[in-house]
Amino acid sequence: MKKKALLLSFVLCLSLDCKAGIILPDDNFVPGWTTSGKTLRFVGTDLFNYINGGAELFREFGFKELLVQGYRHKDNEMVLEVYQMDSPEAALGIYLMKCGNETPIEKITARNSANKYQFTIVIGSYFIQVNSYAGDEKLIPIMTILAQQTLKFIPKERPVKLLDNLPKENLIPGSELIVRGPYGLQPIYTFGEGDILQLKSEIFGIVSDYKDTNLGNYTLIIINYKNSEDALLAYRNLLMNLDPYLEVLGQWEHGFIVKDFQKKFGLVNLNDNFINIKIKLSEKPAVIIDK
Amino acid sequence: MEKQTYQSMNNSFKVNRRNFLKVSSAASAGLILGTPTLWAQDAQKQDKPERPKTNLEDALKVPKTKYSLPGAFPGKVVEIHNSGAMSEEKIDAEIVKQMFQSGIQKLTDQNLKKSFKLFFKKDDIVGIKVNPVGPGLISTRLELVDAIIDWLVENGIKKGNIIIWDRFDYMLTDAGFTTERFPGIGIEGLQTMDETAAEGKAEDDSHWLKPDGTHVSAENFDMDVYYWADVEGPKDDKPYLNQHVFNGKYSYFGKLLTKKLTKIINVPVFKNTGNGISMATKNLGYGAVCNTNRLHRPLFFDVCTEVLAFPVIRDKLALNITDGLRAQYDGGPSQNANFAYIYNTQFFATDPFALDMVCHNLMVQKRKEMNVNVNEHPRFTEYLRYAERLGLGIANPKKISHIRA
């Protein structure tokens, strides 16, 4: 009995918390459209029960809570998903991983990429998706209103300046990414097993591709650790546990050059709080090092 | 985040000329190789986590038959493309059927009738393993399954001896694989799962959990035929049990495969899973057994090889047809319309490992075209080379015959 009461109070607490936070659009957000089923709430590892594959990435980026609400009008259905992450940087990180080539809709007052199947939106610490599985162009105005009404209740937060730290010259627009651990890093490069860069779901790495007329395109990763000691530890961990497919060609006190299985080159440099990495270089870099 | 203190690598390498060490191929004599002794005390070489033991040896002990993988055409992959098969609005069932027939004949170099005899006998019970994830968007096309059924029936297999199957019954329904749509054909999920309970929409577990604490689908799995791996499925975790029927270290094969089917046609969809693919070998590796989530982290793609090494699949898997009519290059294995595209292609092989190697490389190409990050590290195809070492298929691209039409 006590257990049941505890459970009930927990559920009530969740419900109140839900209402105290953001408010999802209700019935008739557009005349005729009604909510379908109750709002689902997932926290922590519950997310694995909702996302079939891919929950690990959200968890790595700092997932806090997901609210899911279905909407219906006759045979048409939509599902709104509102993910709260632990920071605007984390929300942007997830967004960049999920948005693909951005095709924004101007009527939505937040960074977005939208098509007839899905709107993907980021604002503050929130990552939002509006899904229309029918993929009907006619539903885009409804999806837009649903998104707009959701955004009305999202609290304003500081802008994310993390990516401003990427050098602008020769940056390939749209290639910017944020990583916070091995799942985010997986499609970019394999440096070794596990959390080889010791990001620990805390530290953000910023990533982008660059054009280089001499060296071809390459990828730059910049990680700003909390302090130089953490950066040094991560650097040592990387060097000691490098993937066996990476051959170290040259090494100095705070840097090294590798050749990968595709005969492309990488350059890693430890500089105070930072680890800077260039990968996928076509030519072996000739590096001048401050001894 | 602190105020900007980042700098480009170029900036970070600006040096005083007198105090530099130039590192290049021409100056390799000046390289410092190995870890400086100063660091040796702190830096620890991590031992690679030991790969969990499995009961693969049990499978390998069973002698192969003439039907065993890689089947009649090791390393042969046929790709059929027809831009008229499908558009966003509609699918042309006749063209889909022509593509199927052309693919089979190009695979065997024989007509449809003789091709049939290479793989089947009239009294076979044939299971068509579809992929119903992403219903309607990227699930196996019903029209392709129609074409397969027509071929089987025209060559003497009774409709009642054809079963469309997947691991989950509700997914089959969602994707349109119903008895109404396929009259006379069996439709079987190895298990049920109560989605409502799994998502927390209901407290009532009676739809999936029996009073004795076992899953209602437990009897659908064969306790004598299993893939064992030294990895525990979580205990006291209802959502896990709801979805996976069992926890513990055993992944039992469905009785449908062990007791009923004599042949399998595998019809996956052309899609990614993270940086890898979720196609022929994963459709069976994670679709023929229960209690799989525990395997993802420690064994992931290896499961796609090892589960297929068991005679229950190895000796029954006659054909693999990867449905690339609509494909998905990112966001998989779940559906994501942002990354789905009309590809109008079907792939045919008896050898699922050669097929996946070809499709993996095509997926890499597509992801590059679409400016999606792709990591081409060999680890993402290692499971295919593992299969080649086990004699289950061909993974070496030089030994694969990829025929396009």
Shortest distance between the Cα of A92 and any Cα of chain B, in A, equals 14
pLDDT at B103: 98
CA angle, A105 then A110 then A111, to 5°: 70
DSSP A166: S
Six token digits for residue B58: 């049990």
Q: Going by C-beta distance under 8 Å and a sequence separation of 6 or more, which residues neighbour residue B249?
A: B228, B229, B230, B231, B232, B233
pLDDT at A101: 85
Q: State which of A105, A120, A151 marks the end of a domain.
A: A151
From chain A, the residues in CB contact with B31 under 8 A are 249-252
Please check whether residue A279 is in contact with residue A242, taking contact to mean a CB–CB distance below 8 angstroms.
no
Please check whether residue B388 is in contact with residue B395, taking contact to mean a CB–CB distance below 8 angstroms.
yes
pLDDT at B173: 97
Q: How many structural domains is chain A composed of?
A: 2
* Residues A40, A142 share a domain: yes
Q: Write the residue in A49, A241, A251 that is nearest to B198 by C-beta.
A: A49
* Residues A262, A139 share a domain: no
Q: Which domain holds residue A70?
A: 19-151
Please check whether residue A273 touches B, CB under 8 A.
yes
pLDDT at B38: 40
Please check whether residue A224 touches B, CB under 8 A.
yes
Q: Tell me whether residue A10 is in a domain.
A: no
Q: State which of A121, A151, A181 marks the end of a domain.
A: A151
* Residues A143, A84 share a domain: yes
* Residues A196, A74 share a domain: no
DSSP annotation string for A140-198: HHHHHHHHHHHHTTSPP-PPP-GGGGS--TTB-TT--EEE-SHHHHTTT---SSSSTT-
Which single residue is written with the structure tokens 């939509």? Answer: A78
Q: Tell me whether residue A290 is in a domain.
A: no
Higher per-residue pLDDT: A3 or A262: A262
Shortest distance between the Cα of A153 and any Cα of chain B, in A, equals 25
Instruction: State which of A191-195, A282-286, B263-267 shows the largest mean pLDDT.
Output: B263-267
Residue B3's φ and ψ, nearest 5 degrees, are -60, 155
> In terms of DSSP H, where are the helices of B63-163?
93-108, 112-119, 142-154
**Whole-angstrom distance between the N-terminal and C-terminal Cα of chain A?**
71
Q: HSE on the CB side for B71, CA within 13 Å?
A: 28
The ipTM assigned to this model is: 0.80
* Residues A173, A256 share a domain: yes
Task: Return the minimum-mean-pLDDT range out of A194-198, A215-219, B273-277.
Answer: A215-219
Closest CA to A280 of A290, A291, A261, A266: A266
pLDDT at A53: 65
Q: Tell me whether residue A12 is in a domain.
A: no
pLDDT at B5: 32
**Pairing between strand B263-267 and B126-130?**
parallel
* Residues A117, A169 share a domain: no
Which single residue is written with the structure tokens 């909390």? Answer: A226
Cis peptide leading into residue B333 (ω within 30°): yes
Six token digits for residue A137: 């162009």
Q: Tell me whether residue A286 is in a domain.
A: no
**Cα dist from B52 to A20, A35, A93, B290, whole Å:** 46, 46, 33, 18
Q: Tell me whether residue A206 is in a domain.
A: yes
Please check whether residue A5 touches B, CB under 8 A.
no
* Residues A246, A219 share a domain: yes
Q: Tell me whether residue A157 is in a domain.
A: no
Please check whether residue B305 is in contact with residue B285, taking contact to mean a CB–CB distance below 8 angstroms.
yes
* Residues A101, A169 share a domain: no
Angle between helices B93-108 and B112-119 (to 10 degrees): 70
Task: Return the minimum-mean-pLDDT range out of A70-74, A169-173, B39-43, B123-127.
Answer: B39-43
* Residues A137, A57 share a domain: yes
Task: Return the minimum-mean-pLDDT range out of A40-54, A116-130, B25-39, B303-317.
Answer: B25-39
* Residues A192, A83 share a domain: no
Cis peptide leading into residue B70 (ω within 30°): yes
**How does residue A18 score in pLDDT terms, banded at 50, 70 and 90?**
very low
Q: State which of A118, A151, A184 marks the end of a domain.
A: A151
Looking at residues A266-283, what average pLDDT do you find?
96
Residue A19: pLDDT over 80? no
**Pairing between strand B401-404 and A63-73?**
unpaired
Please check whether residue A290 is in contact with residue B21, taking contact to mean a CB–CB distance below 8 angstroms.
no
Please check whether residue B74 is in contact with residue B353, taking contact to mean a CB–CB distance below 8 angstroms.
no
Please check whether residue B330 is in contact with residue B339, taking contact to mean a CB–CB distance below 8 angstroms.
yes
Residue A269: pLDDT over 90? yes
Q: What are the 10-residue block averages of pLDDT along chain B, 405 residues in total? A: 33 29 28 37 64 97 97 98 93 98 98 98 98 93 98 98 97 97 98 82 86 95 98 88 94 98 98 95 98 90 97 98 97 87 98 98 96 93 98 98 96
Shortest distance between the Cα of B142 and any Cα of chain A, in A, equals 17
Please check whether residue B7 touches A, CB under 8 A.
yes
pLDDT at B305: 98
**How does residue A47 score in pLDDT terms, banded at 50, 70 and 90?**
confident
CA–centroid distance for A253 within its chain: 33
Which single residue is written with the structure tokens 């005349």? Answer: A31
Six token digits for residue A14: 């969740």
| Number of A–B residue contacts, CB under 8 Å | 187
Tell me whether residues B137 and A133 touch, CB distance under 8 A: yes
What is d(CA A12, CA A190) in angstroms, rounded to the nearest whole number? 45
Closest CA to A61 of A150, A120, A126: A126
From chain A, the residues in CB contact with B332 under 8 A are 53
Please check whether residue A218 is in contact with residue A210, taking contact to mean a CB–CB distance below 8 angstroms.
yes
* Residues A191, A123 share a domain: no
* Residues A141, A27 share a domain: yes
pLDDT at A289: 55
